[in-house]
Amino acid sequence: MPGIEKSEKPVNIINNKRIIIAFAILITLILAIVWFLKITDKDNLSLEVYVPIPEASMDVGVVGNLEEGKTLESVNPEAIENPVRPLDMPVPRDIFHTSGTITAIQANSVIIKGIGTNFDDQMKRDLTVVINESTTVNGVKGNLEHFKKSLKVGDKISIEAPYNIHGKTEFLARYINTINND
């Protein structure tokens, strides 16, 4: 049968269709990724961490208390050289104010490096300052969006709490104000 030859054209057409479909899927996938990145706006990506509001208490906290028989110079020698309050002045039982520098901003709180005034051992600690609808930030009350816009990492702030923060590393703020370094 001299006139019958097998043609490879149908096989090539099938391979060409597979290649075209693969390219179409690849292009669609790339466009979907570009579209997703565009709508998510990677510059404004943030992890919203909500801190539960601590229970209000007028009791003194346990952080930074001097154990019986321990002295300030044995626990924190730096406090003798650079005290945050005069060494002969007793620590008040009730403390409602503190200050520090913002190290992180979360969804409903700021983390500050406290200066140690609300601890018996005068050690500088990280403090979690919770903000809610009753908190006034730089004169504006209860606006979490304003809080995120008006405070930034590196700002020095003063804080007033509605309850005793002596010996506590996490507390709710009633007032937060930035301190001008002028």
Strand partners, 111: 104, 128
**How high is the pLDDT of residue 157?**
95
User: Would you put residue 150 in left (φ > 0), alpha (ψ -120 to 50) or beta?
Assistant: alpha
Shortest CA distance to 174 belongs to which of 164, 166, 156?
164
Mean pLDDT by 10 residues, the chain (182 residues): 57 76 92 82 61 75 79 78 79 89 91 89 91 91 84 94 92 92 56
Tell me the helix, strand and coil percentages in the chain, rounded to 5: 30, 20, 50
**How high is the pLDDT of residue 9?**
56
**How high is the pLDDT of residue 115?**
87
**How high is the pLDDT of residue 25?**
94
**How high is the pLDDT of residue 63?**
84
Rounded Cα gap, residues 147 and 138, in angstroms? 8
Rounded Cα gap, residues 104 and 110, in angstroms? 6
**How high is the pLDDT of residue 175?**
95
Whole-prediction pTM: 0.66
**How high is the pLDDT of residue 92?**
84
Side-chain-side CA neighbours of 48 within 13 Å: the count stands at 6
Antiparallel, parallel or unpaired: β 136-137 and 126-130:
unpaired
